[in-house]
């Protein structure tokens, strides 16, 4: 098992910091990345060509997780960390799922709600500000708990798996993908890279994919399966694809935004080359996990 952690003083108010980060960068994400705030997925050997390749690749990641976890059409879904509603609107629109989406960012709730209305999906989707560990998640109410690239922000991961288990009906499915760290010890340079990534991406720690499996099993999940999608998602951090070279208005505009809004904006831009290095060296990984709540046939 491998776990890399930021010092406690950085994580003391993590929920507020994550919410502020996504509030202050919501328009940048929408402008530069679209409304899927997660990695793209490519076959081995494929690479992104232009920024126009982003949406097909990020939608592919959603389809891969749907397939990996076997999400059934019409499922009642708790979407933990719904972002701008990209995955939620896919699940509602293509699979007829009913979505209860939560996020730490009010800006994201506004965008997700507006997009649902534009796409005629308001009747099957709801979005609100809530911390998954803050209490108030309905118990036994969901067929699926879906967490696309949100678990890496959550400081108490064993508690997340316990909340997810309680939220599901017996036979319900957990489906997630998350950033992780390579199994085994890291050298000093690798540890320093991870520490900078944690700081810039507002993450409390990174665990290995195998550590996630153990946490799911310890919480009481059955049929736990994991997959390593690092190679398939690494192209997400290609510098052109991430549009790092062309933040709207160039570097001067970026610095002006940082002065107006604070450090979150600089973190958004600083993180891309660090993640590129993390993924290409295999120090930072992307893991998928699915599991079933025992007690009934799926």
Ligand X SMILES: C[S@@+](CC[C@H](N)C(=O)[O-])C[C@H]1O[C@@H](n2cnc3c(N)ncnc32)[C@H](O)[C@@H]1O
Residues binding ligand X (CB under 6 A)? 15, 18, 22, 36-38, 80-83, 86-87, 102-105, 108, 131-133, 148-150, 153-154
Residue 214 belongs to what H/E stretch?
Answer: helix 209-219
Nearest distance from C-beta of residue 131 to ligand X, angstroms: 4
Looking at beta carbons only, is 15 or 171 nearer to ligand X? 15
Residue 115 belongs to what H/E stretch?
Answer: helix 106-118
Quote the tokens at residue 193.
């890279």
Nearest distance from C-beta of residue 165 to ligand X, angstroms: 16
Looking at beta carbons only, is 23 or 186 nearer to ligand X? 23
Q: Which of 260, 160, 168 is nearest to 211 (CA)?
A: 160
Nearest distance from C-beta of residue 153 to ligand X, angstroms: 4
Please check whether residue 207 is in contact with residue 181, taking contact to mean a CB–CB distance below 8 angstroms: yes
Quote the tokens at residue 83.
């972002």
Nearest distance from C-beta of residue 296 to ligand X, angstroms: 27
Place of tokens 């288990």: 165
Looking at beta carbons only, is 226 or 236 nearer to ligand X? 236
Nearest distance from C-beta of residue 29 to ligand X, angstroms: 8
Looking at beta carbons only, is 4 or 150 nearer to ligand X? 150
**241 Rama sector, left if φ>0, alpha if ψ -120 to 50, beta otherwise:** alpha
- In this structure, what is the dihedral angle of CA atoms 243, 245, 247, 249, given to the nearest 10 degrees? -140
Nearest distance from C-beta of residue 150 to ligand X, angstroms: 3
Looking at beta carbons only, is 101 or 251 nearer to ligand X? 101
User: Reading across the β-sheet that carries 222-228, which strands appear in turn?
Assistant: 125-129, 98-103, 76-80, 142-148, 168-181, 284-292, 222-228
Please check whether residue 228 is in contact with residue 285, taking contact to mean a CB–CB distance below 8 angstroms: yes
Looking at beta carbons only, is 131 or 162 nearer to ligand X? 131
Looking at beta carbons only, is 117 or 296 nearer to ligand X? 117
In 10 A of CB 70, how many CB atoms? Answer: 12
CA 251 centroid distance within chain = 27
Nearest distance from C-beta of residue 79 to ligand X, angstroms: 7
């Amino acid at each position: 098992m491998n776990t890399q952690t930021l010092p406690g003083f950085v994580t003391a108010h993590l929920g507020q910091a994550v919410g502020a980060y996504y509030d202050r960068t919501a328009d940048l994400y929408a402008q530069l990345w679209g409304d899927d705030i997660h990695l793209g997925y490519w076959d081995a050997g494929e690479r992104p060509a232009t920024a126009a390749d982003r949406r097909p690749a990020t939608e592919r990641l959603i389809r891969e997780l749907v397939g990996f976890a076997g999400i059934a059409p019409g499922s009642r879904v708790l979407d933990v960390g719904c972002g701008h509603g990209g995955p939620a609107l896919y699940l509602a629109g293509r699979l007829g799922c009913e979505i209860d989406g939560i996020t730490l960012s009010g800006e994201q709730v506004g965008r997700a709600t507006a997009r649902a209305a534009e796409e005629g999906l308001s009747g099957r989707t709801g979005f609100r500000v809530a911390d998954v560990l803050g209490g108030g998640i309905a118990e036994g109410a969901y067929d699926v708990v879906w967490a696309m690239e949100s678990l890496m922000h959550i400081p108490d991961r064993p508690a997340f798996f316990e909340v997810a288990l309680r939220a599901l009906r017996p036979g319900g499915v957990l489906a997630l993908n998350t950033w992780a760290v390579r199994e085994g010890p890291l050298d000093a340079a690798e540890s320093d890279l991870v520490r900078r990534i944690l700081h810039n991406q507002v993450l409390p720690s990174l665990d290995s994919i195998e550590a996630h499996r153990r946490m799911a099993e310890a919480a009481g999940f059955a049929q736990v399966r994991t997959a390593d999608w690092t190679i398939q998602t690494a192209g997400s951090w290609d510098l052109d694809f991430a549009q790092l070279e062309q933040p709207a208005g160039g570097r001067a505009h970026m610095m002006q935004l940082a002065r107006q809004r604070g450090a979150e904006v600089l973190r958004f831009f600083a993180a891309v080359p660090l993640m590129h290095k993390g993924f290409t060296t295999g120090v930072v990984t992307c893991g998928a996990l699915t599991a079933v709540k025992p007690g009934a046939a799926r």
